[in-house]
Structure formats: structure tokens, C-alpha cells
Structure 1
Amino acid sequence: MIIAAPEREIPAPEREIVVELDGLTRSFPGSPEVHAVRGVDLIIRSGEYVSIVGPSGSGKSTLLHLLGLLDLPSGGTYRLDGEDVSALPERRRSAVRGSRIGFVFQAFHLLPSRTVLDNVMLSMLYQGVPRRQRRERAVEALDRVGLDHRREFTPRTLSGGERQRVAIARALAGRPSLLLADEPTGNLDRANASGVLELFDDLHADGLTLAVITHDDQVSRRADRRVRMIDGRLEPVLEERS
């Protein structure tokens, strides 16, 4: 009698790395010199939802500027989708930022006199996306955040939560590989903040890679993985999510 060998379980392949920081530093000249980011190592894989929490002055905002290619590191390496972006010239850095990174800020940064649709479409203008395609993507993004019915409104007629959803739609329209959010609920009341965080949960469930910078422990707990900035250094948050 031939006995079949037991089937071996094949481990699932690891997801691709979107963000890889290796010894990243950022210092500012002065007397004394300010070391805002000190030797940060961080890996964020495709589809992860990571929160970076810490008090004011801990280096969170500086790290966000580095992750978003809004600033250059003083040392170390930053790879985005496998490309070393640590010292790119401004023109190339701007192109990578526009095509791979979406931003959501505490202040919504919307043009008050333009329609919601225009605000979302404008985000793709410098990517060279044809106008018809910009409109299609904008409509799709607004529908994704539940605001398709508001596309011809102006931001000044919307609630704070709706404005933040427009800002999220603007970020999504560029189809980024990484969505960065900086204190995304800081200007919102509890109900609107909850709605935005639930939207982030949905986007994460759809496979989007998110990194949320926050000082709010309750906001950070929505993420799969939490890390904390302390005096420019990054450390894991060890307690389990509630």
C-alpha cells in the first residue's frame, strides 16, 4: 500500500516593501545643533496601516516631511517602492512625490472658491494626467469617500468632516502607493473624526498602505501596528490593540 506523503503548508509570500528607512537622520544647524530624527529604521509593507504617535517636539512632523519627500535627510537611506529616494534632485523628487505619495493634513488645504470636483482634479494636474482622465479619477475618488453628490459644491459649504473627505479623495485620485496622514482628525469633532477614521479602516481593508502621524493615542490604536517617536528615535508600542 502506498501512503501519500502529507502535504506541506506553503508559507504565504511576504508583501512587498513600500517604505524602508535605514538609519535615517535629520539635523538642523544651530547652537546647539538640533537632531530632530536620530537613526530611524522602519519598514512598511504593502497594505499595512501604521501609526506613528508621539508628543509635540518628538520629531513626528520632521519624519513625515522625510517620508513625503518634502525634505531631505541628513544621513541614512530611504527607499520608496525599492528606489533610493534619499538624495534625489528636486525635479525627480517632486515627480516621485506626485505619483506615489498621497497627503492628508490637519488643515484641509482646499481652494475655497473652486468646486469639490475641481479641488480633486487639480491634484493630478502636474502629473500630466489628461483632463478627461483627471475628471474620471476625481469622480471615482469622491464616490469612494461618499461625496459624489457634493462634487459641484464649494468647500466653504461643507462640514469639517466633509472637507477632510474631499482632501482624502484628492489624495486617492493620484493612486498613490503610500497615503500619509498628519493629524487627520485634529480639526474635527468626535463624530466627524470617527467618520474619517472609519474611512481609513475601509481604505486599509481595500489594500491601501497608510501611515498616520498623530499625538492622539486613540487615533493611533486604529492601526495594525504602532510605533512611537521619542526624542527623534522610533520605538515599537508593545501593548496590544484594544
Structure 2
Amino acid sequence: MTEAAAVLSDRSTAPDGSDDVIRSDEKPPVIELRDVTRSFPGPPEVQALKGINLTVSDGEYVSIVGPSGSGKSTMLNILGLLDRPTVGEYRLAGELTGGYSEDERAAVRARRLGFVFQAFHLMPRRTVLENVSLPMLYSGTPRAERTERARAALERVGLGHRVDFRPGLLSGGERQRVAVARAVVTQPRVILADEPTGNLDQATTADIMALFEELNAGGLTFVVITHDQGVADRAARRIRIADGRMSELS
């Protein structure tokens, strides 16, 4: 399998060999975890995730909430193709990911997934425009398109007037908006946000969550990992992880 692994197949077979067919006229879930367990060797062995089953459809807005050590970060790492399940399978838009090489995983991350982190992870000596342009180097975007698309992404998050600034001159909320622009610029299927408001005050948190809701209304799928119940409650669908086990919240 080459980088074409990022292009999704129309047909898949169930693990038990049965005729589990996804036809071209049926849209598979964008995220599907089946009986996923992630164990870390000991002694004693630690099961960070235990038999997780999760399906997320295109356009959903899902929050995953739980205390520190509950398994949230492990879940994010698996969804983001940064880690692999010990047991079970992960399908991304219908495509089994278990057989991907590391290069293929990186290619799929670059094309299909966008990431927003608590710590922003912006390059301080690069301008806002340059920071937002960087992911397109890894997704194969032609050079001529990068600046135009980065400017459009910054306009989308309300920072078109900050393109030539460096991150150190921006507020915390503005830096997180740059991080969101960087996440959406490659036109991913899913945005994975890890404690995206952890470094923000209450008012700025509300602004960022409103931005997420606006982008979700435009069709982007969001999975937000958080320990903040108020942030989790903004999502249309809420999931709780405790001691590695998942439950849906009403």
C-alpha cells in the first residue's frame, strides 16, 4: 500500500471474513473503533482503554470528557494515528488503518486529520501566515496554492488582519485561532482537539467554542478531548471515559 492508502476504498471485509460490504452509494462512518483495547506493559500491565466501541459520522461534534488518567489522551493518540490499538481495529472513513506503515500513517494524518492542542505549538519565529502554511508542505499542496489557502483559513477564523504578526504578539485566544486555522487549512475530514481551552480564560474559551460550532455547522467533524465539563457540554454528543471504559452521556 502506498500513499494511495489515503484514498478510501469502496469495499471492506469484516474481521470474521463475512461479507461486510461498504458500497460506493453508502457512506461509511468517518471514525469507527471496534473493540479497541490499548495496554501498556508493566509490571503491572496497564489497560488505558478497555474494549472501546465508537462510531462518529461525518459532521458530528463529539466531546470526550473524563478525569486525568482516564484514557482520554490514549484515545486521542489512537484516533490521530499517533498510536496503535493493542487489540481491536480502527477504521478511518471506512479504511482499516492497522496495516499502515509509519509513512502511510503520516500521509493520512496530513490529508485527513487536523489537530488543535492546548499549548498551541506555534513556531515563534515564523509569522502567523507561515505557521498556517506549514502543514501544506506535508500534505503535498502545490507551493503556488499555499499562501492563498493560508490567508483564506485565517480569514475564516477572523485573523486576516494578523497575517504578518509573530505569535508572541498575539493574545492567547488569537494564538489558538491561528492553531485552528492551521488545523483546517489542509481541508481535513476530522478536527481532533486536545484540551483546546486549557490555557484560556472563560471569555476566550467561549469565543473558541463558538468558533468550533461555526466550523462544525460548515460540515467539519469535531472530536474534542477535555476535562472541562462546561466545554464538553457544548458538543451535540458527549462521551465519558473513566478507568479506560467509555459510556455515552445523555
- TM-score w.r.t. the length of structure 2 is 0.88
User: SS in structure 2 opposite 1:17?
Assistant: coil
1:167-182 superposed matches below 5 A? 167-182=179-194
Give the match for residue 68 of structure 1.
80
Give the match for residue 30 of structure 1.
42
**Identity over aligned residues, as a percent?**
59
Matched, 1:42 2:79: no
Question: Partners in 2 of 1:224 and 1:187 — Cα distance?
Answer: 23
Give the match for residue 201 of structure 2.
189
Among 144, 151, 173, the alignment partner of 1:139 is: 151
- TM-score w.r.t. the length of structure 1 is 0.91
Give the match for residue 98 of structure 2.
86
Q: Which residue type is aligned with residue 142 of structure 2? A: P
User: SS in structure 2 opposite 1:124?
Assistant: helix
Give the match for residue 245 of structure 2.
233
Give the match for residue 219 of structure 1.
231
User: Does the Cα contact within 8 Å between 1:15 and 1:45 map onto a contact in 2?
Assistant: no
Question: Partners in 1 of 2:199 and 2:99 — Cα distance?
Answer: 34
Matched, 1:201 2:220: no
Give the match for residue 65 of structure 2.
53
Matched, 1:160 2:172: yes
Give the match for residue 131 of structure 2.
119
Task: Please give the per-residue CA displacement for 1:194-216, whole angstroms capped at 9, x wherever unaligned.
Answer: 11000001011111100000000
User: SS in structure 2 opposite 1:71?
Assistant: coil
Give the match for residue 8 of structure 2.
none
Unaligned 5+ residue runs, structure 2?
A: 1-24
Among 131, 136, 151, the alignment partner of 2:163 is: 151
Q: Which aligned runs of 4 or more in structure 1 are off by greater than 3 angstroms? A: 13-16
Give the match for residue 77 of structure 1.
89
Unaligned 5+ residue runs, structure 1?
A: 1-12
User: Does the Cα contact within 8 Å between 1:72 and 1:87 map onto a contact in 2?
Assistant: no
Question: Partners in 2 of 1:128 and 1:82 — Cα distance?
Answer: 23
User: SS in structure 1 opposite 2:155?
Assistant: helix
Matched length: 226
Question: Partners in 1 of 2:216 and 2:34 — Cα distance?
Answer: 25
User: Does the Cα contact within 8 Å between 2:28 and 2:94 map onto a contact in 1?
Assistant: no
Larger radius of gyration: 1
**Does the C-alpha gap of structure 1 residues 195 and 15 become closer, same or farther in structure 2, counting only changes over 3 Å?**
farther
